[in-house]
Structure 1
């Protein structure tokens, strides 16, 4: 993983999460903005998949468990899809809150993936 890209991903996920949480708690239903913010996080996660494939080939191998990293990454890629599906099926204010919780969860998962990639010794 690339540290600066991970920090950008975490910042975007936190911003999207706070935006969706605030929008949901003031009573807003899912909109193009809330769903779009989670789609941006998903796009960055798909870029992270490419980085996760290419990085070991360019001399940046993980120091932690590679299987654990990939399980986290695959789960992280699937979470926004589930959250967006929920928001499209149930168009209530709590769906927007769910989008926010998903985004905050992704920020935590991204930090854990960075720790697995760089800090642990196999």
Structure 2
């Protein structure tokens, strides 16, 4: 993983998550703003998939268990589309909160993926 890219992803996920939770708790249904934040998180995760495939070939292999890393990454990639789909189907304030919680969960998963990639030994 690339440190600066990980920091950007975590920051975007936290901002999108806090924004969506705040909007949902303010009793507003999902909007372009909240769903766009989740979509941006999803696009950054797809870029992380590419980085994770290319990095070992360029001399930056994971120091931890690669299966655990990929389990986290695949799970994180699945979360934004599922949360957005839920928000589009239900259209309530609670679906906006679900989008926010999904983004916050992704931020935590990204931190854990960074630890697996850089700190742990296999």
TM-score normalized with structure 1 length: 0.99
C-alpha distance in 2 between matches for 1:33 and 1:12: 13
Q: How does 1:87-106 map to 2 (within 5 A)?
A: 87-106=87-106
C-alpha displacement of 1:70? 0.5
Structure 2 residue aligned with 1:9: 9
Which blocks of at least 5 consecutive residues in structure 1 are unaligned? none
CA distance in 2, matches of 1:16, 1:49: 20
Q: Name segments (4+ residues, structure 1) moved above 4 Å.
A: none
Distance 1:59 1:12 in 2: 27
Distance 1:64 1:45 in 2: 20
Structure 2: gaps (5+ residues) = none
Matched with 2:110 is 110
Could you tell me which residue of structure 2 aligns to residue 68 of structure 1?
Answer: 68
How many pairs align? 122
